A and B are shown apart, each in its own frame.
Chain A
């Protein structure tokens, strides 16, 4: 049920996403929409970027996601979680983009392999030594390539669980599939990923472990 308080006061009191969306839905509340956009822009951009392997596409798709949210605001069901609805819209847009790329394979052929090397935007630490930065960049590129080779359903589950920290139950709600199917996809995704990254693990792991101790497992 939408809040009757003015939005700044309601936000100060801790308005939930669902309440903010309710205000957008019922009052076309611009401040509530801005609040939601600010709150979710970054996670959605990350999801779209990782799904497409392209930062520019990720940016575009995140913008498109919020445009869709506003356009279809009256389709939102108040009893559903806003985040579930939002992830689903973003994933659908990602799937559309991937289908478009399949129809135009030449456009997607280059992916961002060379661009990342040129701009180094994914470099995790600009202050690190050049050789460490180059190694990290190479590791990043390999992971991106491996993710790109996973089928989209596996990639979506992996990204939502590993990077966005959604529980399997929440992923099942987003994808509208049973939780067991989500776990099966996650299993298959990790098996394939281990297979894809195996050659590079052997060569890169010693160099990485020499400079950075391996973080403990199961830290996510």
Chain B
């Protein structure tokens, strides 16, 4: 016996899926085929069990006309409120789920606060670090300036002392030179005088020994 495929039987389950002629053929087959009948009974039993879950109908909303934008905004607001409400307040007292909800909520709530505190602490530490760095740099600069100033004063003092020494040395040298020059002048003058006297003596001697012109 050739059995119709499962897709055909699935369509047979519902009155509105197959034309009457096809249904009649399948009815005929079903009357003779036990395995197909069992298959359908199993599916029908499962379908029948599905009817146990019925959802209560919601109360109809009051019939009044809302402006379109207000309606859309209301829907969005309601959806957001429901979503927030569901996340903030677990809809069931299951301990594990409740604990997880609380942990998640706390984590979500505390994370921004912790981030703010960390950011504030980081800013404060950064500010302190900058201040300390500036103070250290200022102190180091002052020390360096003091050392440089001391060194500069010492150098100046040394230079002044050297100038004084050089000046006194120059003065001494100048005095020595002057004395030598004066001695040389005196000696030269004496030598000139002696030469002059000798020249006078030579001249006088020559005039006496030479004959007079005729």
Contact = CB atoms under 8 A, between A and B. Distances in A.
Real binding pair: yes
Contact of B44 (A55, A71, A217): A217
A194 B45 contact: yes
B114 interface: no
Interface centre among A110, A140, A186 (most CB of B within 10 A): A110
Interface in B84-123: 86, 90-94, 96-97, 100-101, 104
B91 A218 contact: no
A193 B50 contact: yes
**Contact residue range for chain A?**
35 or more
A50 B101 CA distance: 23
A183 B79 contact: no
7 contacts: A56-B86, A106-B96, A110-B92, A122-B56, A144-B53, A183-B7, A217-B48
B24 to A, nearest CB: 15
Interface in B43-70: 43-58, 60-61, 65-69
B103 to A, nearest CB: 9
B65 A34 contact: yes
Interface stretch (B8-16, B125-133, B164-172, B178-186): B8-16
B188 interface: no
A111 to B, nearest CB: 8
Nearest to A64: B79
Given A122-B54, A183-B11, A114 B45 contact: no
Interface of B: 6-7, 10-11, 13-17, 41-58, 60-61, 65-69, 71-72, 75-76, 78-79, 82-83, 86, 90-94, 96-97, 100-101, 104
B17 A167 contact: yes
Q: Interface on chain A toward B: helix, strand, loop, or mixed SS?
A: helix
A161 B167 CA distance: 122
A201 B90 CA distance: 32
B94 A114 contact: yes
A67 B7 CA distance: 37
A82 to B, nearest CB: 17
A190 B48 contact: no
A70 B101 contact: no
A1 to B, nearest CB: 21
A71 B76 CA distance: 10
A109 B13 contact: no
A155 to B, nearest CB: 11
Contact of A136 (B6, B52, B61): B52
